[in-house]
Structure 1
Amino acid sequence: MQFTKLAIIAFLSGVGMAAPSEGGLVKRARESVHLVDCVTYQAADYYADDSKDNVFPGNNNECVTVGFHEGSSTSCRFGTGVTFSWALSSGARSSPNGLKVGTGNNGFHNFNCFRDDNHVLYTDGNGHTCSSIYVCFDSFT
């Protein structure tokens, strides 16, 4: 009987310690893949935090592609080994900015792709400006 009471007290005190902290849940950063045009080549650039998309993402987070191929599926493999696949609707390039024009997947979760406004993300090491043509956001945010 005494053992049962001690076991219950130990169990209940453990549950109390597992309660969430006062700060509550913290929203995670918004992942993105920008499909960029860098004058002489096109690439997919991965950003773990889209608010930091104004710099070159690093060699492991960029993969050069042979175009974006509207109306069909395309993919490329990053230096990290992750493959990002996307499918853009026909005529996506002439769609209004902000319109959803396709979907993507990186093997971990899905992305929704939108027509971007061609803003310059960064200038590469050869002096080419890299403009965001499409942006794909993870579907969790």
Structure 2
Amino acid sequence: MVAIKLTFISTLLATAFALPAASGSSESPVLDAKEIDARGEIAKRGQGIHLVNCPRNSLIVYCANDGSSSCNSYPSSNNVVRFGSLFQWEGGNYGGTFSTGVVFSWQIAFNAQTSLYPNYSGVGSGTNGFTTFDCFKDDKHTIFNDPNGSGACRAIYYCLPGTGMVGNGRVKEREALGDVAPAFPV
């Protein structure tokens, strides 16, 4: 009888801890198949920054809720930095200023587009002055179409809130082996 009561209590507690607290939010914590990527991992969520190449120019795109479908359409003017031509994202300390005055700066390994870095691997870091980001190599999927009709805009890198150290260890390890030149400030 004691064992049955303990089983019941442990099941009840496990269920209580697994359920979200009532917060007035109607969002369900349950993931559906669309939120899990091909590798079986949870898809990108929360704020994110995408470094995007369109056929004629490059963009920095800010998404307040990276997992929402609103990030799959051309961004509003407050959420995009437009470069006049294609931009090389790798190999330096770069930055772009949004119309709100917020500056996003980043450093991505100069060889991040080589086979040394598979898709979704950490390749650098960034900051917007408020949040530190870890940057990852994306798979060049179409994130949205250019409204000027020039074609598909592709996600080259994405940056998510983190430590700002993603990629640094891997690059430093390769530098020690002589495989790459330094890509990040020491």
Query: How would you bin the TM-score normalised by the shorter chain?
Result: 0.7 to 0.9
Asked if structure 1 preserves the Cα contact closer than 8 Å seen for 2:74 and 2:147, the reply is: no
Give the superposition deviation at 1:68: 3.4
State the 4+ residue runs in structure 1 displaced beyond 3 angstroms: none
Counterpart CA distance in 2 for 1:58 and 1:96 is 31
Distance (whole Å) between structure 2 residues aligned to residue 70 and residue 134 of structure 1: 10
Structure 1: runs of 5+ lacking an equivalent: 1-21
Q: Is the 8 A contact 1:75 1:83 kept in 2?
A: yes
Count of residues paired in the alignment: 118
Deviation at 1:23, TM superposition (A): 2.3
For residue 33 of structure 1, the aligned residue among 49, 69, 72 is 49
Give 1:89 deviation, angstroms: 0.7
Q: CA deviation at 1:108?
A: 0.2
The separation in 2 between residues aligned to 1:114 and 1:63, in whole angstroms, is 19
Q: CA deviation at 1:132?
A: 0.1
Alignment equivalent of 2:99, drawn from 52, 55, 79: 79
Larger Rg: 1
Aligned to 1:133: 156
Which residue identity lines up with residue 61 of structure 1 in the other structure? Answer: N
- 1:88 maps to 108
Map Cα deviations across residues 84-126 of structure 1 (whole Å, 9 max, x no partner).
Answer: 0000012012221011000000010100000000011111211
* 3-state SS, counterpart of residue 101 of structure 1: strand
CA RMSD across the alignment: 2.2
Q: Distance in 2 between matches of 1:98 and 1:139?
A: 15
What are the Cα deviations for residues 45-65 of structure 1, in whole angstroms up to 9, with x where unaligned? Answer: 000000122111211111023
* Secondary structure in 1 matching 2:78: helix
Structure scoring higher RCO (CA < 8 A, sep ≥ 6) equals 1
Distance 1:113 1:45 in 2: 13
- Residue from 90, 114, 119 that aligns with 2:141: 119
Mapping of 1:51-70 within 5 angstroms? 51-52=67-68, 53-65=71-83, 67-70=87-90
Partner of 2:184: none
Q: Does 2:116 correspond to 1:100?
A: no
CA contact under 8 A between 1:68 and 1:74: conserved in structure 2?
no
Q: Which residue is equivalent to 1:109?
A: 131
Instruction: Give the deviation of 1:73 after TM superposition.
Output: 0.9
Counterparts of 1:93 and 1:44, CA distance in 2: 18
Are residues 39 and 105 of structure 1, via their aligned partners in 2, closer, same or farther at CA, if it must alter by over 3 Å? Answer: same
TM-score by length of 2: 0.58
Q: Judge conservation of contact 2:90–2:112 (CA < 8 Å) in 1.
A: yes
